[in-house]
Amino acid sequence: MSSLISIVRSKFLDAIRSVNPPGRWKILVVDEHSQKLLGTVLKQFDILEENVTQIESISNYREPQAGFEALYLIMPTTQNVDRILKDWETQQYAGAHLFFIEGLPEPLFQMLMPAESYMRCLKELFINFRAAEAQTFTFDMPEQFFSMYSPPRNEREYPEGRGRLEEDLQFTSKLIANVCITLNEFPFIRYYVPANHSPLGPLKPHTSTRPPPPSEGSGRWRTNLARGGDARAYESVEGDFVTKLLAFMVQRHLEEHKKSNPDFGKSEARARSTLIITDRSMDMIAPFLHEFTYQAMIHDLLPIQDGSKYTYKFQSSVGAYEDKTATLSDSDRVWTEVRHMHMREAIDRLMADFNKFLEDNAVFSGDGAANLNDMKDMLASLPQYQEQRENFSLHLNMAQECMDKFEKEKLPLVANVEQNCATGVTAEGKSPKHLVEDMVPLLDSKDVVNMNKVRMIALYIQYRDGVPDEDRRRLYQHARLSLAEQDAINALTEFGVRISRGTGDRDNKKKLKAKTSDDDYELSRYKPFLRTVVEDHVAGKLDTSLFPYVKDSPSAAPLPTSLRSQSPAQPTSLRSQKPAWHRAARPGVTNEARQRLLLFVAGGMTFSEIREVYQLSSSLTKDIYIGDYPFVF
């Protein structure tokens, strides 16, 4: 499995190592954005080890260093190009090696031409994204969640809102293209077309954004002509989903890149990848469910800062308690091994690892730790093993705090209601006939926090595909929700969810069905829709009306030489075949040549979806990556 972190790290290091000035030493010049991206995969020590004498910010005053050549690692912006030209004019450095984080627009390239003698090289890296984990990537644009789903405040603002969103999507599509280019993948592209609602937010069909209807005239031939381009333009607004716009934009960016880089995406060993673009509205159940796997539970229940930092009480070697902040990342072996385990399994694994550590180091002669409290007591007696103490203390604190909240906030009872709503069946596989009776006491309870009441009501409304307004009002009353909390539930309509239902309304359920799990844990039965999408795509049976291709599909494309002798998967009906994870791995498919599948969830992914990606990568023998804006639920 190719780790995104390793790939991006290597691209940065290759760029730095490629600069070998006569005097050996060089200066690294960065901007704020590139410095953040660099910091996610490399420590400052790692950079300085590569004959970098110092790291300077392009936006700050810098002392002239005419004896050194500089490596610029920056974004391609007008402001940065102006600063490079100023450095050339003032002879800031002996020469400039320019590495742009993403593609350099032609106008900016022309602006640099006067300084050609100053430039030693100019390269585009196409790594303008954050490799958050081995198989996840994100973009620093949380505001796009609101530009996608927030409806314009009044009728006049629809054109402006749509224009803003299309600008945002253009930028996002470039970043998705960056991921594809970094992986050297020119994928087939599929996108989600909802069957149960029209476009959302500023893309909602509106008189001010819809082209005028065609004039048909009186003749039949005129009528037929009018049903051509003009009519299609008039009607296409109905299908302008954010996923479709984004998919076609990514296709254009990749085709442009292919024109100037003919070898882009070519591989004799690996089958061509697929990029599937979906959005949060596809599955509005997953964000509301309590997840009890380690990573999801920690991010849900604990005060994690900046998506990865956790502050806890650490007992020092002298016995005093002090605040310590740790970063949860792929560099922590314990974290990567247990993050997708159910909390019970994760705690058992932590204790097993701790007892093995005690045994390997002959620290204690008696029995090992039997529970979290035993671990806590024993850790205080290990002052000589500072690094191990810190690591075990971190995970001990997180696990213990999660379990305390699990009991205190009545999460077993809350989660049982959630799972029954999400799956539509009880743990025994029967229809949940007493959902309201189970839910109302929890809504009345002061021990259940309001946020969890909001989650239960939101899931119940989705289970019922909308409820009468009076029923919804009573649920709010039982839960004693504030107006803001009621508005949050009512806002589900902005994601295509029906919240209000009359007596004569028909079911408006989605065509796509989530699968339930044979998991041993009753509170972890629901599986996200994304799992169904991936399994059905790999099995060749994903509905093309729900997930059409932008251009060609795999059936029309030649296989790589090494795979041509293998039989392609046969398309089947949507429900007749077992999930693809029942199949054995194909012979001849090695980890190095595994086919890739890229997933992008516009509007934000959930930790349950991230977990599924890792598990499906293993069961389907595919390299699967998932990305979004930094808005993980």
Q: Which superfamily does CATH assign the domain made up of 4-128 to?
A: Sec1/Munc18 (SM) protein, domain 1 (3.40.50.2060)
Give the pLDDT confidence score for residue 505 in this predicted structure: 73
Beta bridge partners of 96: 70, 119
Q: Cα(87)–Cα(98) distance, rounded to whole angstroms?
A: 12
* Residue reference for tokens 């190095």: 592
What CATH number does the domain located at 294-399 have? 3.90.830.10
Cβ neighbours for 248, distance < 8 A, ≥ 6 positions apart: 550
Q: Cα(250)–Cα(177) distance, rounded to whole angstroms?
A: 6
Question: In this structure, which amino acid lies at residue 266?
Answer: K
Length of the chain: 633
Torsion angle of the four alpha carbons 359, 363, 365, 368, in this order, in degrees rounded to the nearest 10: -60
Burial bucket for residue 225 (CB in 10 Å: 0-12, 13-18, 19+): middle
Domain with CATH 1.25.40.60 in the chain: 409-526
Burial bucket for residue 506 (CB in 10 Å: 0-12, 13-18, 19+): exposed
Cβ neighbours for 185, distance < 8 A, ≥ 6 positions apart: 265, 272, 273, 275, 596, 598
Domain with CATH 3.40.50.1910 in the chain: 139-217+237-283+528-633
Three-state helix/strand/coil letters over 489-517:
HHHHHHHCCCCECCCCCCCCCCCCCCCEC
Torsion angle of the four alpha carbons 516, 517, 521, 524, in this order, in degrees rounded to the nearest 10: -50
Q: How many Cα atoms occupy the beta-carbon half-sphere of 93 within 13 Å?
A: 28
Q: Cα(125)–Cα(133) distance, rounded to whole angstroms?
A: 20
DSSP code per residue over 54-95: EEEETTS----EEEEEEEEEE---HHHHHHHHHHHHTT-EEE
DSSP label at 558?
P
End-to-end CA separation in angstroms for the chain: 25
Q: Cα(209)–Cα(203) distance, rounded to whole angstroms?
A: 8
Q: Which one, of 212, 161, 398, lies nearest residue 297 by Cα?
A: 398
How many other CB atoms are found less than 10 A from the CB of residue 154?
Answer: 7
How many other CB atoms are found less than 10 A from the CB of residue 493?
Answer: 15
Give the pLDDT confidence score for residue 201 in this predicted structure: 94
- Coil, strand or helix at 96: strand
**CA atoms 188, 189, 194, 198: torsion sign:** negative
pLDDT tens digits along 500-509: 988 777 776 6
**Class level of CATH domain 139-217+237-283+528-633:** alpha beta
Q: Write down the H helix ranges in 312-385.
A: 333-338, 343-360, 372-379
30-60 b/e with 16+ CB inside 10 Å = b? bbeebeebbebbbeeeebeebebeebbebee
Domain with CATH 3.90.830.10 in the chain: 294-399
Contact (Cβ atoms closer than 8 angstroms) between residue 117 and residue 604: no
Q: Cα(614)–Cα(255) distance, rounded to whole angstroms?
A: 30
Q: Cα(302)–Cα(313) distance, rounded to whole angstroms?
A: 14
Q: Cα(130)–Cα(37) distance, rounded to whole angstroms?
A: 6
Mean pLDDT by 10 residues, the chain (633 residues): 94 97 94 96 96 96 95 98 97 97 96 96 97 94 90 89 95 97 97 94 76 52 46 57 97 97 89 97 97 97 93 76 91 95 95 83 63 69 71 91 96 97 93 94 97 98 96 97 98 96 72 62 93 96 96 68 44 32 38 87 96 97 92 69
Q: How many Cα atoms occupy the beta-carbon half-sphere of 283 within 13 Å?
A: 26
612 Cα distance to chain centroid: 12
Q: Cα(182)–Cα(165) distance, rounded to whole angstroms?
A: 26
Give the pLDDT confidence score for residue 357 in this predicted structure: 81
pLDDT tens digits along 362-413: 666 556 666 767 766 676 666 657 778 788 889 999 999 999 999 999 999 9
Torsion angle of the four alpha carbons 167, 171, 172, 174, in this order, in degrees rounded to the nearest 10: 140
DSSP label at 589?
-
Q: Which one, of 338, 295, 298, 291, lies nearest residue 517 by Cα?
A: 291
Q: Cα(318)–Cα(175) distance, rounded to whole angstroms?
A: 49
Domain with CATH 3.40.50.2060 in the chain: 4-128
Token pair for residue 54?
Answer: 């110092």
Q: Cα(518)–Cα(78) distance, rounded to whole angstroms?
A: 55
Proportion of the chain above pLDDT 70, given as a percent: 83
Fold of 409-526: 1.25.40
Q: Which one, of 192, 205, 195, 202, lies nearest residue 247 by Cα?
A: 192
**275, containing H or E segment:** strand 274-279
**CA atoms 32, 36, 42, 43: torsion sign:** positive
- Coil, strand or helix at 601: strand
**469, containing H or E segment:** helix 469-479
Q: What is the pairing mode between strands 130-133 and 274-279?
A: unpaired
Q: What are phi and psi of 28, to 5 degrees?
A: -100, 125
Q: Cα(185)–Cα(274) distance, rounded to whole angstroms?
A: 9
- Coil, strand or helix at 168: helix
**431, containing H or E segment:** none
Question: In this structure, which amino acid lies at residue 345?
Answer: E
* Residue reference for tokens 């314990």: 334
Contact (Cβ atoms closer than 8 angstroms) between residue 296 and residue 611: yes
